[in-house]
């Protein structure tokens, strides 16, 4: 099959631009599903009519920097972008795009952490210089040294975590997308979604473009998470032809599950530490 429609689903696949309309043909340029209205005057999607691949990242004629920049720009109009995404074409391109954008975000955040650690080192020296003369007793000096050591250890931990995050992101992000994508696809089918597993992962993969905002100092992590959620919701709605409320369920379900497992882990940790601390 040249399009990502699950053969187990009943009826024709939905049009990529109009999820409620059944497709009658496919685009001659990219195999995008088209309804009767979209196929006029010829069976080509809007992007293919103007030339070029519907997804710049998958355009072999573009270099990586140009393809990345154009795809991120296209994602600023999420509805139009996902209207034109072919739901077939393999998983390599969206998984690579997700890994690259997440790594760029992690690199930016890591650089900010490194600069903060350097600035923090200078602040610690100033703190020691200002408080040192006040520590006139051995106990006071010991407490000051302990405080400074704890702060240095925290800075070192931040730097190590930043380096590890950059190192594991290219491997972890595609693996996470495959696992969460499989679970999300199963839930989508229960909610009446008509897209395929391939379509699910492609939508979620390109939605990871929002990860580049992670490089923004201070608020980058929050902004990136919110943008990824919005893009994922739009992409999954187009990929499966579901209502906005069902698309929201498909997008948000990992959050309460993660919170539940986090609470269970915290409870287990407390139960193990409580007898030790009570001694």
Q: pLDDT confidence of 68, banded at 50, 70, 90?
A: very high
Report whether 20 contacts 14 (CB < 8 A): yes
What is the predicted pLDDT for the residue at 166?
81
Q: 0.75 cut: is pTM over it?
A: no
Q: What is the average pLDDT across 172-201?
A: 93
Note whether residue 56 is domain-resident.
no
Report whether 240 contacts 250 (CB < 8 A): yes
Task: Check pLDDT > 90 for residue 226.
Answer: yes
What is the predicted pLDDT for the residue at 128?
65
Note whether residue 214 is domain-resident.
yes
The β-bridge partners of 5 are 195
* Distance from C-alpha of 173 to C-alpha of 183, rounded to nearest angstrom: 15
* Those residues with Cβ within 8 angstroms of residue 244's Cβ, 6 or more apart along the chain or in another chain: 233, 237
What is the predicted pLDDT for the residue at 156?
75
Note whether residue 25 is domain-resident.
no
Q: pLDDT confidence of 189, banded at 50, 70, 90?
A: very high
Closest CA to 199 of 210, 211, 207, 190: 207
Note whether residue 184 is domain-resident.
yes
Range of the domain at 221: 89-278
What is the predicted pLDDT for the residue at 237?
92
Report whether 25 contacts 43 (CB < 8 A): yes
Mean pLDDT score across all residues of the chain: 83
Note whether residue 109 is domain-resident.
yes
pLDDT, one tens digit per residue, over 49-66 is 766 677 889 887 888 999
Q: Looking at 87-91, 171-175, 236-240, which range is the least confident one? A: 87-91
Q: Which residue has the higher pLDDT, 135 or 194?
A: 194
> Looking at beta carbons, which pairs linking 123-129 to residues 24 or more positions away fall under 8 Å?
124/148, 124/151, 124/152
Q: What is the 3-state secondary structure (H, E, C) of the chain?
A: CCCCECCCCCCCCECCCCCCCECCEECCCCCCEECCCCCCCCCCCHHHHCCCCCCHHHCCCCCHHHHHHHHHHHHCCHHHHHHHCCCCCCCHHHHHHHHHHHHHHHHHHHHHHHHHHHHHHHHHHHHHHHHHHHCCCHHHHHHHHHHHHHHHHHHHHHHHHHHHHHHHHHHHHHHHHHHHHHHHHHHHHHCCCCECHHHHHHHHHHHHHHHHHHHCCCCHHHHHHHHHHHHHHHHHHHHHCCCHHHHHHHHHCHHHHHHHHHHHHHHHHHHHHHHHHHC
Q: Could you give the number of structural domains in the chain?
A: 1
Note whether residue 179 is domain-resident.
yes
pLDDT, one tens digit per residue, over 131-164 is 667 667 777 777 777 777 777 777 777 778 778 8
Is the bond leading into 41 cis (omega within 30 degrees of zero)? yes
What is the predicted pLDDT for the residue at 204?
96
Q: Which residue has the higher pLDDT, 139 or 189?
A: 189
Note whether residue 3 is domain-resident.
no
What is the predicted pLDDT for the residue at 157?
77
Note whether residue 46 is domain-resident.
no
Torsion of CA 58, 63, 68, 71, to 10 degrees: -50
Q: pLDDT confidence of 108, banded at 50, 70, 90?
A: confident
Task: Check pLDDT > 50 for residue 4.
Answer: no
- Burial environment of residue 248 by CB neighbours within 10 A (0 to 12, 13 to 18, 19 or more): middle
Q: Which residue has the higher pLDDT, 105 or 139?
A: 105
What is the predicted pLDDT for the residue at 222?
92
pLDDT, one tens digit per residue, over 234-276 is 999 988 989 999 999 999 999 998 889 889 888 887 787 777 6
Our measurement of the distance from residue 177's CA atom to the centroid of its chain's CA atoms, rounded to an integer in Å, reads 8
């Amino acid at each position: 099959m040249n399009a990502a429609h699950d053969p187990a689903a009943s009826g024709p696949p939905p049009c990529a631009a109009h999820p409620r309309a059944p497709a009658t043909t496919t685009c001659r340029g990219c195999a995008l599903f088209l309804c009767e209205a979209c196929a006029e005057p010829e069976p080509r999607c809007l992007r293919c009519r103007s030339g070029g691949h519907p997804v710049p990242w998958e355009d072999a004629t573009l270099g990586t920097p140009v393809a990345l920049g154009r795809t991120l720009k296209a994602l600023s109009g999420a509805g139009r972008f996902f209207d034109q995404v072919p739901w077939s074409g393999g998983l390599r391109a969206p998984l690579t795009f997700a890994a690259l954008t997440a790594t760029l975000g992690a690199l930016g955040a890591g650089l900010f952490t490194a600069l903060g650690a350097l600035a923090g080192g200078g602040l610690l020296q100033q703190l020691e210089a200002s408080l040192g003369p006040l520590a006139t007793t051995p106990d006071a000096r010991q407490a000051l040294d302990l405080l400074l050591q704890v702060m240095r250890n925290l800075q070192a931990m931040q730097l190590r975590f930043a380096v590890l995050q950059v190192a594991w992101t290219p491997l972890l992000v595609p693996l996470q997308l495959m696992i969460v994508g499989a679970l999300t696809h199963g839930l989508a089918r229960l909610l009446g979604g008509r897209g395929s597993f391939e379509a699910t992962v492609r939508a979620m993969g390109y939605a990871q473009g929002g990860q580049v905002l992670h490089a923004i100092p201070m608020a980058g992590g929050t902004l990136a998470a919110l943008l990824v959620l919005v893009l994922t919701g739009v992409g999954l709605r187009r990929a499966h032809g579901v209502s906005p409320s069902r698309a929201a369920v498909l997008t948000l379900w990992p959050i309460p599950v993660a919170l539940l497992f986090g609470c269970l882990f915290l409870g287990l940790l407390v139960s193990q530490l409580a007898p030790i601390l009570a001694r």
